Amino acid sequence: MRPLGVTLSACFQFLRAALLLLIALGILFVGGLASRLASAAAEGDTAQRFLSGLGHLLAVAFLLYALIVAALGIGLLLGQNWARILTILFSAFGALTSLPRLLHHHPLSFLSAALNLAVLIYLLMPEARLYFEGKTSIGSSPA
């Protein structure tokens, strides 16, 4: 049986992927508006093309990141060790990037840092490692 912490870690990855998808869609929307405003103001010069290209590039980058994070969530649910290792790396990076934002005392920064640290600590615990290696704490394989 899958441990509750693994399921919660996967749910956190799915939530992170959904937020990244919303950010990507927002970039496409705002980038489209910005390029139309630049087009109307300058009659289609290079600023319009630059803003449009930059918006598309950022949106594609966020979409790819969202797909990777969603794949990590699926991998965690399936008990794949590669997903555990990559989630540890992504959570460590997320916790490190949250540190400067903690100086502003914003509640979402604290929540983000706390969730990343919780996932990081849980997946580093020996019980979680044993689950992903296909063993339980008593030495038999999971059902």
| Domain boundaries of the chain, sorted by first residue | 4-132
Q: State the angle between helix axes of 4-42 and 107-124 in degrees (0 to 180), rounded to the nearest 10.
A: 140
Query: Would you give the distance in Å from CA 139 to the centre of its chain?
Result: 33
pLDDT at position 105 is 80
Sign of CA dihedral 134, 139, 141, 143: negative
pLDDT at position 143 is 45
pLDDT tens track, the chain, 143 positions: 899 999 999 999 999 999 999 999 998 888 766 666 666 666 656 766 776 778 789 999 999 999 999 999 999 999 999 999 999 999 999 999 888 887 888 788 889 899 999 999 999 999 999 999 987 654 444 44
